[in-house]
Amino acid sequence: MEPRNVVEVGTRVRVADIAPPGHVRTPHYLRGRVGVVERVLGPFPNPEELAYGRRTTPLPLYRVRFPMGELWADAEHPGDTLEAEIYAHWLTIEEDPDAA
Amino acid sequence: MPHDGHDPLSPSGHPYRPDQDEPLTYWQCMEIAIRELLVEKGVTTDAAIRAQVQTMDDRGPAQGARVVARAWADPDFHHRLRSDGSAACRELGIEVGPMKLIAVSNTPDLHNVVVCTLCSCYPRNLLGLPPDWYKSREYRSRTVREPRAVLREFGTTLPEGVAVRVHDSTADMRYLVVPMRPDGTEGWTEGALAACVTRDAMIGVAQAAHPKSDGI
C-alpha cells in the first residue's frame, strides 16, 4: 500500500510477513495476518526511523481489527477480536474473498 | 549484604533480595553523566530531578477513575471521550501527554482488555505506574493468545454471549477501558462513582464494583 494513501475504515488489509532488523513495532504474531481497518490515526512519524535519529516522513497509522480465529488456530472463541496499531507501510489491501 | 549469616530467609520468612552490587552498565553511566552535565550547566537541579521522579511515582489511578465517573454520569462526555480521549481528558484538566488516548467502553455484549506485547505502554498520567504483572512476559504473551483464560485467573468470568476484544498497545496510542457502571449506582455523585473504578477495571482485567463489595 502506498504509505501516504489513506485507506478507509472497513478496508481488508494484510500485514506484511517480513522480519526486518531494527526497532520495529509490528508484533510477530500479526505478520501475514488479515484484518480490517477499524480507525485511521495519525499521521505519525515512523518509529523504525525515529529510533535511529533519522528524519521521518509521517505515516498514517491504522488500528486494525483481527478475529482471534485468524491469529490462533485453537482460539477459545474464534469470534473474539484483537486490535493493534499498524503503520501504513506494513499493510497491503487484501481482496475480499466474498466479492464476486 | 543485609545479613551476615547464610540464612536465605529473613526473619519474616521471605528470601532476601540480592544487593545490587554489580558495576554500572554503559547506559547507566551515560544517564549519570548527562544528568551531571545538565546540573553543572544550570539547565536543571538535583532537587528538580528528585521532585520530578517523586511526581511520576506519586501518580495513581485516581485521575482515570475521575474520567470514568464523568463518563458514567454524563453520556455526552462519554461520547466525546470515545471520539477523542485526549481532548475529553483536557476538559477535566488532565493532560494525557504526547501520546493519544483511546477510550474503549465495555457494554453488555463486549469486554475490552488492554496489553502491550512489545513493552509496557500504559496511560501513566491516568493510571500511574503500571503494575509489575502488566510488564511480565506472561501477561504480555498470554493476553493476546488466550485472553479469557487470563481474565479467569484475575477472577473475571464473563457472562455467556459477551465477546472479548484485546487491545495491543503497539504504537502511539494509550488505552483506557471504561468499565460497565455497576447496578444500583443511580443518582450517585461522581465522587462516589469514582470509588467503584479500580486500576484493574480500567486495564480491563476486572469489572467495576461497589466499593467493599468486590469480595475482599
Whether the per-residue pLDDT at B161 is higher than 80: the answer is: yes
What pLDDT sits at residue B216? 47
Identify the band that residue B24 occupies on the pLDDT scale cut at 50, 70 and 90: very high
Domain annotation covers residue A100: no
What pLDDT sits at residue B138? 97
What pLDDT sits at residue A71? 98
Quote the minimal CA–CA distance from B168 to chain A in Å: 5
Domain annotation covers residue A3: no
Contacts of A27 in chain B (CB under 8 A): 117-118, 144, 168, 170
What pLDDT sits at residue B106? 98
Among residues B175, B155, B49, the alpha carbon closest in space to that of B101 is found at B175
User: Number of folded domains in chain A?
Assistant: 1
Whether the per-residue pLDDT at B1 is higher than 80: the answer is: no
Of B102, B144, B167, the CB nearest to A29: B144
The per-residue pLDDT for range B166-183, each reduced to its tens digit, is 999 998 899 999 999 999
Contacts of B175 in chain A (CB under 8 A): none
- The residues of B that are catalytic are 116, 119-121
- Whether the CB of A18 is below 8 Å from some CB of chain B: the reply is no
Q: How far apart are CA A76 and CA A83, in angstroms?
A: 17
Q: How far apart are CA B99 and CA A77, in angstroms?
A: 32
Domain annotation covers residue A5: no
- Give the 3-state secondary structure percentages of chain B, helix then strand then coil, rounded to 5: 40, 10, 45
Domains and CATH numbers, chain B: 1-58 (no CATH), 62-203 (3.90.330.10)
Contacts of A82 in chain B (CB under 8 A): 144, 165-168
* Mean pLDDT over the full length of chain B: 92
Domain of residue A37, CATH code: 2.30.30.50
Q: How far apart are CA B116 and CA B122, in angstroms?
A: 8
Question: Residues of chain A whose pLDDT is less than 50?
Answer: none
Is residue A27 reached through a cis peptide bond, with omega within 30 degrees of 0 on the bond before it? no
Residue of higher predicted confidence among A45 and B212: A45
What pLDDT sits at residue B97? 77
**Cα–Cα distances in angstroms (integers) from residue B177 to residues A36, A95, B201, in the given order:** 21, 33, 7
The domain in which residue A60 lies consists of 12-93
Q: Is B186 helix (H, G, I), strand (E, B) or coil?
A: coil
Domain annotation covers residue A4: no
Identify the band that residue B96 occupies on the pLDDT scale cut at 50, 70 and 90: confident
The per-residue pLDDT for range B62-71, each reduced to its tens digit, is 999 999 999 9
Domain annotation covers residue A99: no
Q: What does the block give as the cell for B198?
A: 479500580
Q: How far apart are CA A15 and CA B180, in angstroms?
A: 33
Whether the per-residue pLDDT at B119 is higher than 50: the answer is: yes
Tell the residue number behind the cell numbers 510488564, with chain if given.
B135
CB distance A83–B168 less than 8 Å? Answer: yes
Domain annotation covers residue A24: yes
What pLDDT sits at residue B56? 86
What pLDDT sits at residue A95? 87
Find out whether B133 and B139 touch, Cβ atoms under 8 Å.
yes
Q: What does the block give as the cell for A44?
A: 505519525
ipTM of the complex: 0.93
What pLDDT sits at residue A72? 97
Residues 6+ apart with CB under 8 A from B178: B68, B71, B72, B78, B81, B103, B104, B105, B106, B202
What pLDDT sits at residue A98? 75
Output the furthest CA–CA distance in chain B (Å, rounded). 64
